[in-house]
Structure 1
Amino acid sequence: MTDPDDNRSGDVRAAAREKARQLRTSQQRKDRRNKALLSGGIVLGVLAIAAIVAVVIVSAIRPTVPGPKNMASDGVVIGAGLKVKTTPALAADAKPVTSTPDPSASSAVDIRIYADYLCKLCGQFQRTNLEQLEPLVKDGAVTVAMHPVAIYTSHSAGTRYSLRAANAAACVANYSPNAFWAFNQSLFEKQPAEGGPGLTDKQLKQRVEGAKATNLSDIDACIDDGRFKSWVGAASDRALNGPIPNSDVRQMRNALLVLVNGKPYTGSLTSADDFKAFVLQAQGEEYSSTGTPTPTPTAG
């Protein structure tokens, strides 16, 4: 006769084994699930990192677009009558063509100004000197090449004003070049403060109109779509990395560089007399080397 206690003992052991089996199965399922989640998490993490890297790379690579007309040297060359020297638009990725003084012209003084429209020192220099330079340019005593650069792009409360302003200048050079002098001057006469948001695109368009530019609809569209922003970035990089053409200066070291016959001006930015003396000295040196008389800037 079978002892009932033996049967109960066997049932307990069987139940324990089944419970243990269920626990093992459950644990194995958890292990597989955790492994799958871990693997998936690694994959997602890798994909996320790859996506971030891709965004950074794409952001760093500027799309190549043709440059603006009349800025083949990365600057606008303004001569007698405040007229801009016309040049064709350079193809995307083409190297800039260094501007050289016209040998048939009477001018012997070549002034080149590299400036950021948000730069306070740039504004001081231009407000101090553009007024006295204007009649000299009109008379053909000097030529002035304006090179807009965007170096303070991150200094305008997130609006990227330096880049937008330089793009607007390129738009004016492309569509209404002979308004460039007045437009450039207007951006420095009432210059926004460093660190502030700068002018809006609407305000830039108003400055364009105030400069009596033509082809306003084309310029407005050019400002709206940032047509020459990639070109501005590339031109700024060229100025920062150097070399600076027709000069002993290797590269821009801040947001303002003024060259007179290839020599950097390092005098006062707020003294018109100091800069005039530097221009006269350069003109005298040019006269001594060529023996060719040139129009003399008059005191004013």
Structure 2
Amino acid sequence: MSNPRPTKAERTAEAREKARALREEQQRKEKRNKLLVRWGVVVAVVAVIALIFAVVFSNMNRSIPAAGPVPANGNLDGGVTLTSTTSLAPTDGGEVDTENLPEGTGEGQPPRGVEPGAEGEPVPIVVYADVNCVHCATFEDAYGDQIAQWLDAGEITYEYRLVSFLDRNSPTNYSSRGANAAACVADTAPESYWDFTAAIFAQHAQGEVDNQGLADMAASVGAEGAESCIKDDGFRTYVKYTTELAQADGVQGTPTVYVNGTEANLDAFTETVQAAIDGNGGADSE
């Protein structure tokens, strides 16, 4: 005996069930497609970001030549010396070679070029600093105004030797790039050097910036002409030379400050400098 034919109600229910199953399958497909599109967009964005980062990172970590120029107003000890907040001590420039460094000055001796000032002349201060160093930023914040007063009174000279000790903590070599930017400002706009160093140490709390940010910082203090030098790493060899020379001379950290030829206790920095000025009779004494 054959099976009875499904009733109309049964056929309708079966059709509805098939339609429901088809709808659910279509919804599942649409959901999968939407997820695939979303993940595709995410992957594409990540890939673009990774590519941009790779290009920027590569540019920031490009190979640095062994030999290179000294910036105008830079010396062969790796420093730039302020004689006021708007003027630098002129130098003969020249070239440095990191593969032919001078020998270190020896244990217990100050670094090369660190000497007492002549009687009646401004007291020389030499500071080893790293633009990525929090203690350097703190030092600049604490004493910057007083240093500016001494400078503009003709009582001191202030020599920055900017090193890149902390590149090991930076994926973008910010210490080297910041020091290079400062050298570019010394070379192209010496009257802006003090303001630029103040700006770059003040930036520390906000974190690292790229080369465009450094160029913008330079422009903000009147050194618009430094942009190409900053972006082209014009004095990265000089920064490397300064850093390796400092290490050869026994400088182990930043800030390290020498006042009148002697390493200073930074907790008594103001008193130490003022005593040196007073003991020297003042730079403008007759």
Answer whether contact 1:118 1:192 (CA < 8 A) is retained. Answer: no
Match among 203, 216, 220 for residue 210 of structure 1: 220
Q: Deviations over 1:276-297 (max 9, x none)?
A: 1111222344x3xxxx45459x
Which residues of 2 match residues 192-203 of structure 1 at below 5 A? 192=205, 198-203=208-213
Q: Deviations over 1:103-150 (max 9, x none)?
A: 5x9534111111000001111111110111102101101111111111
Q: Where has structure 1 moved over 4 Å in runs of 4 or more?
A: 94-97, 99-103
Answer whether contact 2:70 2:95 (CA < 8 A) is retained. Answer: yes
Partner of 1:127: 141
Q: Distance in 1 between matches of 2:283 and 2:113?
A: 23
Q: CA RMSD in A?
A: 2.7
Distance 1:137 1:189, change over 3 A: same
- Using CA pairs below 8 Å that are at least 6 residues apart, which structure has the higher relative contact order? 2
Q: Distance in 1 between matches of 2:176 and 2:148?
A: 26
Answer whether contact 1:116 1:149 (CA < 8 A) is retained. Answer: yes
- One-letter identity of the residue aligned with 2:255: L
Partner of 1:83: 87
- One-letter identity of the residue aligned with 2:179: A
SS of corresponding position for 1:259: strand
Q: Distance in 1 between matches of 2:160 and 2:177?
A: 16
- One-letter identity of the residue aligned with 2:123: V
Which residues of 2 match residues 264-283 of structure 1 at below 5 A? 264-268=263-267, 274-283=268-277
Answer whether contact 2:85 2:148 (CA < 8 A) is retained. Answer: no
Please, what TM-score do these two structures have when normalized by structure 1?
0.64
Q: Distance in 2 between matches of 1:255 and 1:237?
A: 14
Match among 180, 185, 193 for residue 172 of structure 1: 185
Unpaired segments ≥5 residues, structure 2: 1-61, 103-111
Answer whether contact 1:79 1:85 (CA < 8 A) is retained. Answer: yes
Distance 1:164 1:60, change over 3 A: closer
Partner of 2:195: 182
Please, what TM-score do these two structures have when normalized by structure 2?
0.67
Answer whether contact 2:130 2:175 (CA < 8 A) is retained. Answer: yes
Unpaired segments ≥5 residues, structure 1: 1-58, 243-250, 269-273
SS of corresponding position for 2:68: coil
How many positions carry a matched residue from both structures?
A: 212
Q: Distance in 1 between matches of 2:182 and 2:196?
A: 8
Q: Deviations over 1:141-171 (max 9, x none)?
A: 1111111111101212x11100100010111
SS of corresponding position for 1:118: coil
- One-letter identity of the residue aligned with 1:159: T
Partner of 1:49: none
Q: Deviations over 1:227-286 (max 9, x none)?
A: 1111111110001111xxxxxxxx211122111101112232xxxxx321111222344x
SS of corresponding position for 2:151: helix
Q: Deviations over 1:9-40 (max 9, x none)?
A: xxxxxxxxxxxxxxxxxxxxxxxxxxxxxxxx
Distance 1:68 1:95, change over 3 A: farther
Answer whether contact 1:69 1:86 (CA < 8 A) is retained. Answer: yes
Please say if 1:220 is aligned against 2:251: no
Answer whether contact 1:68 1:89 (CA < 8 A) is retained. Answer: yes
Answer whether contact 1:106 1:140 (CA < 8 A) is retained. Answer: no
Which residues of 2 match residues 49-68 of structure 1 at below 5 A? 62-68=65-71
Answer whether contact 1:117 1:162 (CA < 8 A) is retained. Answer: yes
Please say if 1:69 is aligned against 2:72: yes
Structure with greater Cα Rg: 1
Q: Distance in 2 between matches of 1:177 and 1:205?
A: 15
Match among 132, 154, 168 for residue 154 of structure 1: 168
* Identical aligned residues as a percent: 26
Distance 1:257 1:225, change over 3 A: same
- One-letter identity of the residue aligned with 1:220: E
Q: Distance in 2 between matches of 1:61 and 1:205?
A: 20
Distance 1:81 1:154, change over 3 A: closer
